[in-house]
Amino acid sequence: MTSSSSYSGLEEASSKPHLCGAAKRGSAAVPHHSNPDRPETPIIEFREVGKSYGTFTILDKLSFSVRPGEHLALIGPSGSGKTTILRLLMTLETVTAGEILIDGRSLNREERSGKIVQASEAHLRRMRAEIGMVFQHFNLFPHKTVLENVTLAPVLTSRLSKEEAKNRAFELLDKVGLTNKADEYPARLSGGQKQRVAIARALALQPKILLLDEITSALDPELVEEVLSVITDLRNETNMTMLLVTHEMSFAKDFADRVLFFEQGKIIEDGPPAKIFQEPDHERTRSFLRKVIAAGQRV
Amino acid sequence: MESFDSLVSYAWFILGGAAATLELTVLSCTLGLIVSLIAGLSLLSKKLLVRWAARTYIELFRGTSLFVQLFAAYFVLPLAGIPLSPIQAGVLAIGLNGGAYGAEVVRAAIQAVGNDQREATIALNLTRWQAMRWIIFPQAVPLMLPTFGNLAIETMKATAIASLISVSELTFQAQMVRTQTGGTALPFITILITYLAIASMMMALVRWLERRLSRGLVSVRT
Ligand SMILES: Nc1ncnc2c1ncn2[C@@H]1O[C@H](COP(=O)(O)OP(=O)(O)OP(=O)(O)O)[C@@H](O)[C@H]1O
Ligand SMILES: [Mg+2]
């Protein structure tokens, strides 16, 4: 599974100039820290974001930002709002208060004839171009072959010709070790293989931000490793910004530069994994970790 | 008792109606299918007016009898300056009637395709139309097919009503023979067998389509 060569398609993507010309990218595999001349624009910024369903509030005035190339793990008890945060970023849910900025541009609002209004579908589509997501249940297209799953979006969004999309798909399938399954339908794959196809599919659009929501929790234990090793490769070989929601503490520790611990829609703890897992500031974090350890996980 | 020869010739006379029955069936099913798709997709439109128009059409055609619709098409439309031939009036009424039922089948099948598929299309930045065209609709089709097969057979059986406006299809021909000869068994057994034969052909076609169109989905089902 592990491979030393780079994800060529992705390097290419990240060396393209940003649409708004804000952030500068460093070389691959080195996390980007701020440029001394000009403070770097966060690739993601939540500004007092609120999300509620009717009277039920999930997020209230949530603020945090993410630097380009950062690898973030979002942990916390069930129902704390981790999935909601990723779904807001993917525009699968709409923000009910505040603002999310992607690379300095508003995700949920836009200016039209001098007024700030709710983002239109066209604006959302422009913003989504920067973001990819891998789902817990893969969400592959069952009526399309593995290859078609990966080539469909680049071709339909006219990023690539059919030929180019196919070449890139094979490169990505090679990375996830599934070129031999290119012509199979998803129903014929194991869970781990499905999730690796889903990763290749998300990467085919060369997102700058990749969202991963409990991508191994629907898998049989023996299939988890093959998916995590793909993620580890991606982490080491690209400079995508990655947000990982997970209940696997040991993987969060290896993966993340920075861990956010959530409870009831609030960030309780924010810091490098060594700190969060070894000497958290809050009792709530400690009790969460104790529960996780009691449930049999290594932290 | 009539001679065997004349029995055969009456039977042939009745079978001559099969051409018109098939014509009515094919045209009505085609119209019904097109209208089902348009009305079914309209029911899912974001625009209130479009949804409302589709809903009105469906309720109108399901709430009145095919008999009334056929007579309206044949006798009332000419008063509005739209004269139709018996076949045209038959196809219009039977097709639009079937379409009203088909629309609900289309809507239900599209809604039955999981939300996770829709979310994947958003994450892959497809437009709503692309998502429908390439992801949602193709998965909805195998769900529609069994019900559409039944609707097509209902439509075929409903073509008999066109005999009332003198389309010389199977039932009309059978009635002619009955009034001329006074015999009931021969004409009705002949059309019974013929309708049955057409229905089995249609069923076979639907089953073949089901196999063709559920690639990738079959292994999940079996
Ligand atoms: N569509 C919805 N309508 C109402 N409430 C919802 C909806 N989606 C999520 N919620 C609620 O929002 C809260 C946060 O949910 P979310 O899925 O973000 O939590 P999570 O941290 O991902 O949890 P888990 O670890 O179990 O996946 C939960 O209380 C959940 O019940
Ligand atoms: Mg979740």
> Within a domain: residue B193?
no
Question: Given B116, B122, B217, which is nearest A143 (Cβ)?
Answer: B217
Across the range B58-67, mean pLDDT stands at: 96
Name the pLDDT band for B184 (thresholds 50, 70, 90): confident
**Residues forming a β-bridge with A245:** A74, A213
Quote the ipTM score.
0.85
Cβ-Cβ pairs closer than 8 A, A with B, add up to 68
Ligand 1 binding pocket includes A80 (Cβ within 6 Å): yes
| Disruptive mutation site among A156, A185, A190 for chain B (greatest number of B CBs within 10 Å) | A156
Ligand 1 binding pocket includes A141 (Cβ within 6 Å): no
Distance from CA of B143 to the nearest CA of A (A): 13
Residue B85: CB atoms within 10 Å:
11
Q: Is B134 in contact with A156 (Cβ distance < 8 A)? A: yes
Q: Are strands A131-134 and A209-213 parallel, antiparallel or unpaired?
A: parallel
> Within a domain: residue B202?
no
- Asked if the model's pLDDT at residue B219 lies above 50, the reply is no
> Among positive and negative, which fits the CA dihedral B16, B21, B23, B24?
positive
> Within a domain: residue B195?
no
For chain B, what is the domain count?
A: 1
- For residue A292, what are the CA distances in angstroms to A212, A250, A260, A271? 20, 11, 16, 19
Given the CA of residue A81, which atom of ligand 1 is nearest to it?
18
Given the CA of residue A54, which atom of ligand 1 is nearest to it?
4
Q: Is B220 in contact with A187 (Cβ distance < 8 A)? A: yes
Model pLDDT, residue B98: 96
| Tens digit of each residue's pLDDT (9 = 90 or more) over B14-40 | 888 899 999 999 999 999 999 999 999
> Within a domain: residue B191?
no
> Within a domain: residue B132?
yes
Q: Is B125 in contact with A157 (Cβ distance < 8 A)? A: yes
Name the pLDDT band for A246 (thresholds 50, 70, 90): very high
Q: What is the mean pLDDT of chain A?
A: 87
**How many residues comprise chain A?**
299
> Within a domain: residue B86?
yes
> Within a domain: residue B180?
no
- CATH number for the domain harbouring residue B34: 1.10.3720.10
What residues 80-119 of chain B have any CB closer than 8 A to a CB of chain A? 116-117, 119
- Asked if the model's pLDDT at residue A2 lies above 50, the reply is no
Distance from CA of B48 to the nearest CA of A (A): 18
| Tens digit of each residue's pLDDT (9 = 90 or more) over A116-158 | 999 999 999 999 999 999 999 999 999 999 999 999 999 999 8
Question: Given A131, A142, A202, which is nearest B139 (Cβ)?
Answer: A142
- Asked if the model's pLDDT at residue A49 lies above 50, the reply is yes
Q: DSSP for chain A? A: ----S--HHHHHHHHSPPTTS-----STTS-----SSSPPPPSEEEEEEEEEETTEEEEEEEEEEE-TT-EEEEE-STTSSHHHHHHHHTTSS--SEEEEEETTEESSEEEETTEEEEPPHHHHHHHHTTEEEE-TT----TTS-HHHHHHHHHHHTTSS-HHHHHHHHHHHHHHTT-GGGTTS-GGGS-HHHHHHHHHHHHHTT--SEEEEESTTTTS-HHHHHHHHHHHHHHHHH---EEEEE-S-HHHHHHH-SEEEEEETTEEEEEE-HHHHHHS-S-HHHHHHHHHHHHTT---
What residues 225-264 of chain A have any CB closer than 8 A to a CB of chain B? none
Chain centre distance of CA A97: 22
> Among positive and negative, which fits the CA dihedral A213, A215, A221, A224?
negative
**DSSP code of residue B83:** -
> Residue B81 belongs to what domain range?
20-167
> Is A218 in CB contact (< 8 Å) with chain B?
no
> Within a domain: residue B179?
no
**DSSP code of residue B167:** -
